[in-house]
Chain A
Amino acid sequence: MLLKKREREGAEINGSSMADIAFLLLIFFLVTTTINVDTGIGMVLPPPLDPEVEPPPIRERNLMNILVNAQGLILMDEQPVSINDVKDKLIEFIDNPNNSEELSISPDAAIVSLKTQRETPYNIYIDMLDEVMSAYKDLRDAASRANYGVEYARLAENSPQQEQIKDMYPKKISIAEPDN
């Protein structure tokens, strides 16, 4: 019998360059990845108004009317103010530390109404909204620090503590439709 005996070559693929290929791909994806976080001011729109149902009456003292025109001039309850004073005035209105007759009865009754013109640039509107949010943030932080010793943002999400502070200072912001 003629048995051919041959030394078999090992059937291996040379894998030493695999790491290089993987590194190349890795670097490509590293460079192209953008881990961008979306940030912004969160709001909840009210449901559409039913024309047959009368809106509930709101007492004048609980309502803070903020009007902003296209030039960025601000009226708060018929008084012209500069944008730097908006926050302090809002905090005074919402908190009402001296129990003034003109200002909100209690923080959870306070409603901030923001009204602009159709021509108002978007950045002016956002600046105003930012001031309102900043007033609420300060109030919530102060309440949270007084009760729990930490800032509001550091309370656990949806914890009873956070809910309590939220109930103390609910964000009641109404975005009114422009007239013209």
Chain B
Amino acid sequence: MSQFKKKQAGTKQEVPTSAMPDVVFMLLFFFMVTTVLREVTLKVKLDLTKANNIEKIEEKRLVSYIYMGPERLPGNQLGEDKVQIDDSIVDDIGAIRNIMYDKLIEEPRLIVSLRVDQNSEFGLLTDVQKELQQAGTFRINYSTKRED
């Protein structure tokens, strides 16, 4: 009888798991590096419009944002259309040229992404664009969502 006994392979049946933490840590570092935790706190209401013929901005490092829309007031109310750059609202439109010029010096290939609320008026946008022309930041991008 005993000669029919199945021969057991000499190797262990377990999958070695000692390298698993390394693999997981590698993934972890990837996601840690790609995550952007801090977003700008929006002080204006932003509801982007949609368009068909849009392009992606590949180089996100180059992008600087300008937000335009009705100001959020306490108590869920909306005020007049305002311009926000970084974390603060810019009341003096004429100051934009200096702000953007400083950014252009830091990053000569700057792309200005204009994130404008769909109901805000064109007039404010022209004023901002005129300032951008003075600052020398000519590459702009009207941020829109994809139409579906």
Interface residues of A (CB under 8 A from B): 15, 18-19, 22-23, 25-26, 29-30, 32-35, 37-48, 116-123, 125-127, 129-130, 133-134, 137, 175, 177-178
Contacts and interface: CB of A to CB of B under 8 A. Distances in A.
Interface majority SS (helix, strand, loop, mixed), chain A: mixed
Contact of B122 (A45, A47, A118): A118
Given A33-B31, A122-B125, A129-B142, A40 B54 contact: yes
A65 to B, nearest CB: 17
B139 A42 contact: yes
B121 A118 contact: yes
Given A118-B126, A122-B49, A126-B142, 10 more contacts: A22-B25, A44-B140, A45-B133, A45-B137, A117-B122, A122-B120, A126-B49, A126-B51, A130-B51, A133-B51
* SS of B interface (majority): mixed
B17 to A, nearest CB: 7
B40 interface: no
B12 interface: no
B85 interface: no
Interface string B41-53: 0000000010111
